Chains A and B, each alone.
Chain A
Amino acid sequence: MATVDDLQFEEFGDATTSLVATPDATTIRIEDPDETPKHPPAPPRSSRREEDDELLGNDDSDKTELLAGQKKSSPFWTFEYYQTFFDVDTYQVFDRIKGSLLPIPGKNFVRLYIRSNPDLYGPFWICATLVFAIAISGNLSNFLIHLGEKTYHYVPEFRKVSIAATIIYSYAWLVPLALWGFLMWRNSKVMNIVSYSFLEIVCVYGYSLFIYIPTAILWIIPQKAVRWILVTVALGISGSVLAMTFWPAVREDNRRIALATIVTIVLLHMLLSVGCLAYFFDAPEMDHLPAATVVTPNQTVAAAKSS
């Protein structure tokens, strides 16, 4: 029955040619997986990408949520799930740090640098570096301030490391959580175009804390004026990064609520920096005070005796 010729493979050719031959036959066309049937097959790929970028620019929430959901497909108890949060290269981390140091008005940090790839590497290690920078600088500055005193015995105050760690890490995680909850709540009332995921907010806060690392190191200089100038500069830069990031998210809302949100964000940031300065760094004039307190009781005692 089966001759040798029948065993040769038959070339079926293209679907179009076979359709030409037998117009009534049904054919199945297997397309590329990322071309949907809605898109006409004619336009080249580049224009489709531009279309997507425009959509990303105008309609952040839907597309970014979709893409974010597509990326993190492993269940949360596997190691690969957490690896997706560390999917950054060295130059990307440097770019994000640079973006937090140079806030350009009109450019959104999240849209420009994070682009639905939030990472946890930056926030975690910037906070760790900041903790040690504050503790070490505080220690060093106290040592330099009390350098000449005979009664001062230097101790490396190790307890301050744990306190600094608690403060910085809770700021970097609890404030984004509160802010995210607040934004979600407002989103349910007022339809906002721009909405951020929790990780993106953590990312912005983490990278915005980077400016405080050189600030903490420069706080070693025991001059009050220098320290306050540094606080102002650092707060200005990181506050403006945060404000410019979150302004598009609240701008659709009631004017007063939007302004109150931004003011609260900046206020909390200021509280962190001033609080760290006050707690970890002794005021430079304190070494003059003990001499004054020694003198005045004697004077008051002498005055009381003489009167």
Chain B
Amino acid sequence: MAETVDVPGDSGTGSPRPLFAGLSDISISQDIPVEGEITIPMRSQIREFDSSTLNESVQNTIVRDLKAVGKKFMHVLYPRKSNTLLRDWDLWGPLILCVTLALMLQRGSVDSEKDGGPQFAEVFVIVWFGAITITLNSKLLGGNISFFQSLCVLGYCILPLTVAMLVCRLVLFAEPGPINFTVRLFVVIIMFVWSIVASTAFLADSQPPNRKALAVYPVFLFYFVISWMILTFTPQ
């Protein structure tokens, strides 16, 4: 609203002039639309805001989650530059893989004569605390990946090593000997390289360029230790 202001000392003119007098002369051309509506686009894809997932059947929920997990497995097996693992992270896949690996790696009975391989809890602790340590390390080095995204990627990239464990278990049913060992060694090495390539494809971009090697080395150590545990597994 234009206010009239008394301009003291204004000689000559007796009437007060409005402050923004010149603005009323500005015309708006009619073909620029200045009216409209503000609408919020429908966001039905986001589950948190859509309360109807509470009412769906359990089977739907489980199938949807399994599909998400399966899709991420495919992304790990064929690592491409895609953001699916990072954007929609979940920890179901890592949990399933870790439990499977720990179940297969644990030594048979507690009362073996010497201490043998790791127990279930030891494998579990190594995987999860190793992943947490690597995540903290990459965040401390200045990476811009979130905590759970990094855990998700590291957990999912254990998939090739779990496959290697399954193969080793099957191979161990055969006659033990050097050929047996060579086959297992070969399989574990290939899967180890696959895991590293898959996780580096996702994680390396989040680091500043002069620290990439510093962030990737702990990942290498982590998967090396898991591969070693798989390779040296001997059934009781």
Contact = CB atoms under 8 A, between A and B. Distances in A.
**Chains A and B come from one and the same complex:** yes
A160 B148 CA distance: 31
Interface stretch (B14-22, B24-32, B161-169, B205-213): B205-213
B213 A90 contact: yes
Contact of A125 (B114, B122, B142, B217): B217
A155 B116 contact: yes
A132 B229 CA distance: 11
A181 interface: no
Interface in B111-139: 112, 114-118, 122, 137, 139
B210 A90 contact: yes
Contact of A156 (B8, B9, B232): B232
Interface residues of B, number: 29
Interface in A35-67: none
Given A157-B116, A158-B229, 10 more contacts: A1-B8, A88-B211, A89-B211, A125-B218, A128-B221, A129-B221, A132-B221, A132-B225, A155-B234, A159-B115
A53 B117 CA distance: 55
Interface string A123-137: 001001100100010
B118 A157 contact: no
Main secondary structure of the interface of A (DSSP, over half): helix
B114 A157 contact: yes
Contacts of B232: 139, 154, 156
Given A86-B140, A128-B221, A156 B117 contact: yes
Given A1-B9, A90-B212, A136-B228, A158 B217 contact: no
A171 interface: no
A156 B212 CA distance: 33
A158 B212 contact: no
B210 A89 contact: yes
A247 B197 CA distance: 46
Interface in A81-120: 82-83, 85-86, 88-91, 93
Most B CB contacts (10 A, CB to CB) among A82, A85, A89 go to A89
A121 B138 CA distance: 10
Contact of A90 (B117, B137, B211): B211
Nearest to B138: A86
Contacts of B137: 86, 121, 125
Contacts of A129: 221
3 shortest interchain CB distances as A-B pairs: A156-B232, A86-B140, A155-B116
A198 to B, nearest CB: 19
Interface in A2-59: none
Contacts of B116: 155-158
Contacts of A89: 210-211, 214
Interface of A: 1, 79, 82-83, 85-86, 88-91, 93, 121, 125, 128-129, 132, 136, 139, 153-159
B214 A91 contact: no
Contacts of B233: 156
Most A CB contacts (10 A, CB to CB) among B117, B137, B141, B212 go to B141
Given A89-B211, A154-B234, A121 B115 contact: no
A125 B217 CA distance: 9
A82 B214 contact: no
26 contacts: A1-B8, A79-B140, A82-B140, A85-B140, A86-B137, A86-B141, A88-B214, A89-B211, A89-B214, A90-B211, A90-B214, A121-B140, A121-B141, A121-B214, A125-B217, A125-B218, A128-B218, A132-B228, A154-B232, A155-B116, A156-B117, A156-B118, A156-B232, A156-B233, A158-B116, A158-B122
Contacts of B117: 155-156, 158
A125 B112 CA distance: 33
Contacts of B210: 89-91
A235 to B, nearest CB: 25
A83 B137 CA distance: 9
Nearest to A1: B9
B234 A156 contact: yes
